[in-house]
């Protein structure tokens, strides 16, 4: 780094130059920081023929025309000429004027509020041998880069002003190629068609169009030509990461515990940074700031957290920051992974039998945790924080409680170890004990239904590979019985296929009966879940109607929940509602039936029963407003019944089901 500084200063010291120099480096690598902290002060402390140098820095970010650059130069120059301003800066130790202060000074000048009564010293404008111009963010300007370089060339070639340009040439090259791409493609296609070569089979059409674009609109060549004329030397800014990281850590000096932890683990920070494959120090700075929040909350709420867990949190915070913020993946890549257990299950499925269905997760883990062993490697609360900027305390506490209870994998139940660890990590002595323990868990029905199904997939694999001596049919019998017991306290599972895909084994024929039995039990669980939801929902009628409308419209407009509820109970609640609510309910039911007819057809039997209850109630009653409203309600229910296939289709279905039962009895 010192060699780079010396080379830049040598350029400034040179008696005569007719070229500029360029500092090239990736976004976020610290180029601007390097200018402000290492170059600017050194230049301004130098003297040339008895004169001190003055630096004039301009960011071109967002500049939309060349006149804006001229204005910036004028503003910077006139502010630096102001004697009172210079005196204040010297006394207060300020080396640069804050941007907001520049705005105030500019407005003061605009309204005629001057800092002193001095007239403009034109000699300052005409003196060029003590000025150093620095143009930053060349690739972020909204002006054609060729025009900007031509503009800068006036200072360099004619006035011989020392000029430094800071940019990211890689992004500049991409910008030159992609600028107005649709227009370029249209014109290139038109020209090729006029030449009669567009549809010739000698080359792929895309290749022809790209070549024509480069031939007609080759700005990159224009850039290279003017760069060759303007830029005498290009310096690659590639900082030593250890040095830069130590500088980043200085901001945490007022937090003794955090700075001690970070300094002790500089190697982890550096390694993770390097593995990210970018040089973006800006993202690293944000990641360390995020980890500061994580570290402080963990230490406050769980002060005895295992050191290995904190180390892994540091790696994960930096890793996921780079994956998301560097644009390597979409933010949603991790959104469906809700726990470390699910993360490890995905790893198992991607590694066993070389299953690449979860390829990205495997690559992420192999990259960032290579040679770093940790059982807990995914933290949902950190993923949410980095992705959404919300620190979810509930998720944080859930994660930490699991960590506390499972940090020692030897204490994990055997079934969890099979589902979340690569089985080959078990020792030959451990494996039979774990297998026996899991079978007892299955037989007792103490596991979740979906867990038993996934475990059978593993056991069938172990059996095929002769890792266990249990007969597969006897095992299947134990698992089927265990599933019956487990169903009593399990919840409905709507993603069996996804859950099984994470296992990574090819599902054999022996799984078929297990899956069919699971489907049967899961339907019962689904009915139980919907009955519970329906009870909670319809309890809102008539006392909490706003809550009913909100929940029903958000969650059940395309979900057949009514076939899990009793039509007579529905009738009783509706009759207790106001006339206005009766109208709103019937309109809501009719509208959802029209929009989602196929999905809601299972509600046909409920609608038929509700219609009969309404008929029986209204029959013979004196006419009143409520009776009329209920009769209108019945008419809309009849429309819904027709949409769902009519009462005849229900009778046919009942007959078919009866015959099927009789066939079974025979």
pLDDT tens figures, 532-561 = 999 999 999 999 999 999 999 988 999 999
For the record, the structure tokens of 512 come out as 């078929």
The confidence score (pLDDT) of residue 652 equals 64
- 543-552 core/surface letters (b: 16 or more CB in 10 A; e: else): eebeebbeeb
CB 23 within 8 A of CB 29: no
Q: What is the pLDDT of residues 275-308, one digit of tens each?
A: 888 777 888 889 999 999 999 999 999 887 888 8
Q: What is the pLDDT of residues 572-582, one digit of tens each?
A: 999 999 999 99
Residue 239 binned pLDDT confidence (cut-offs 50, 70, 90): low
The confidence score (pLDDT) of residue 497 equals 79
- Whether the pLDDT of residue 56 is over 80: the answer is yes
Sheet of strand 131-136, all strands in order from the earlier edge strand to the far edge: 54-59, 131-136, 162-167, 20-24, 231-236
Share of the chain above pLDDT 70, in %: 78
Pairing of the two strands 51-52 and 54-59: unpaired
- 305-343 core/surface letters (b: 16 or more CB in 10 A; e: else): beeebbbbbbbbbbbbbbbbbeeeeeeebbeebebbbbb
Picking from 116, 149, 154, the residue whose alpha carbon sits closest to that of residue 135 is 149
Residue 186 binned pLDDT confidence (cut-offs 50, 70, 90): low
The confidence score (pLDDT) of residue 178 equals 57
Residue 66 binned pLDDT confidence (cut-offs 50, 70, 90): confident
Q: What is the mean pLDDT of residues 28-48?
A: 83
The confidence score (pLDDT) of residue 587 equals 93
- Whether the pLDDT of residue 123 is over 50: the answer is no
The confidence score (pLDDT) of residue 534 equals 92
The confidence score (pLDDT) of residue 353 equals 43
Give me the numbers of helices (H) and strands (E) for the chain, helices first please.
34, 7
The confidence score (pLDDT) of residue 68 equals 77
Q: What is the mean pLDDT of residues 259-274?
A: 87
Q: What is the value of pTM for the model shown?
A: 0.47
């Amino acid at each position: 780094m010192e060699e780079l500084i010396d080379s830049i200063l040598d350029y400034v010291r040179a008696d005569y130059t007719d070229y500029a120099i360029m500092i090239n480096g990736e976004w976020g690598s610290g180029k601007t920081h390097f200018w402000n902290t290492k170059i600017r002060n050194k230049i301004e402390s130098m003297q040339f023929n008895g004169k001190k140098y003055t630096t004039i820095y301009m960011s071109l970010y967002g500049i939309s025309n060349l006149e804006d650059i001229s204005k910036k130069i004028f503003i910077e120059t006139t502010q630096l000429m102001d004697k009172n301003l210079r005196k204040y800066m010297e006394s207060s130790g300020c080396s640069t004027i804050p941007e907001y202060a520049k705005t105030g000074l500019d407005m003061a000048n605009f309204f005629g509020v001057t800092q002193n009564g001095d007239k403009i010293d034109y000699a300052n404008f005409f003196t060029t041998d003590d000025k150093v111009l620095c143009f930053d963010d060349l690739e972020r300007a909204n002006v054609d880069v060729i025009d900007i370089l031509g503009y800068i060339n006036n200072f360099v070639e004619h006035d011989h002003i020392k000029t430094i340009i800071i940019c990211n040439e890689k992004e500049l090259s991409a910008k030159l190629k992609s600028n107005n791409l649709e227009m370029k493609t249209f014109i290139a296609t038109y020209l090729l068609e006029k030449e009669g070569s567009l549809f010739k089979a000698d080359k792929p059409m895309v290749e022809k169009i790209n070549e024509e674009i480069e031939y007609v609109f080759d700005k990159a060549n224009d850039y290279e030509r003017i760069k060759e004329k303007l830029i005498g030397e290009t310096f690659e800014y590639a900082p030593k990461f250890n040095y830069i990281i130590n500088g980043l850590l200085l901001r945490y000096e007022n937090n003794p515990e955090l700075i001690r932890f970070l300094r002790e683990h500089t190697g982890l920070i550096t390694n993770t940074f390097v593995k990210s494959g970018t040089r973006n120090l800006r993202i690293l700075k944000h990641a360390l700031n995020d980890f500061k929040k994580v570290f402080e909350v963990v230490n406050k709420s769980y002060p005895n957290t295992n050191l290995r867990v904190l180390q892994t949190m540091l790696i994960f915070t930096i890793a996921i920051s780079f994956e998301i913020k560097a644009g390597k993946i979409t933010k949603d890549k991790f959104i469906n992974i809700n726990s470390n257990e699910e993360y490890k299950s995905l790893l198992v499925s991607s590694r066993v039998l070389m299953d690449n269905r979860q390829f990205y997760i495997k690559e992420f883990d192999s990259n960032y945790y290579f040679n770093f062993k940790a059982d807990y490697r995914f933290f949902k609360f950190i993923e949410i924080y980095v992705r959404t900027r919300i620190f979810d305390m509930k998720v944080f506490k859930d994660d930490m409680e699991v960590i506390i209870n499972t940090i020692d994998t030897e204490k994990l139940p055997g079934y969890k170890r099979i589902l979340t660890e690569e089985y080959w990590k078990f020792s030959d002595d451990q494996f039979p004990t774990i297998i026996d323990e899991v079978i007892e868990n299955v037989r007792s029905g103490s596991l979740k239904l979906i867990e038993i199904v996934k475990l059978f997939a593993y056991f069938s694999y172990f059996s095929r590979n002769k890792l266990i001596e249990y007969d597969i049919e006897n095992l299947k019998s134990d698992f089927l019985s265990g599933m019956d017991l487990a169903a009593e306290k399990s919840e409905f599972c709507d993603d069996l296929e996804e859950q099984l895909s994470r296992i990574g084994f090819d599902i054999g024929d022996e799984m078929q009966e297990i899956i069919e039995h699971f489907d049967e039990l899961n339907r019962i669980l689904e009915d139980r879940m919907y009955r519970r939801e329906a009870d909670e929902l319809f309890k809102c009628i008539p006392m909490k109607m706003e809550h009913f409308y909100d929940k029903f419209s958000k969650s059940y407009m395309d979900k057949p929940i009514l076939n899990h509820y009793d039509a007579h109970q529905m009738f009783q609640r509706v009759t207790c509602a106001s006339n206005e609510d009766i109208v709103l309910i019937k309109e809501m039911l009719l509208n959802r039936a029209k929009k989602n007819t196929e999905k809601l057809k299972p509600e046909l039997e409920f609608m038929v029963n509700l219609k009969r209850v309404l008929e029986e109630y209204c029959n013979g009653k004196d006419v009143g407003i409520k009776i009329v409203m209920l009769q209108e309600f019945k008419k809309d229910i009849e429309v819904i019944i027709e949409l769902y296939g009519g009462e005849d289709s229900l009778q046919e279905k009942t007959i078919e089901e009866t015959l099927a039962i009789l066939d079974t009895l025979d």
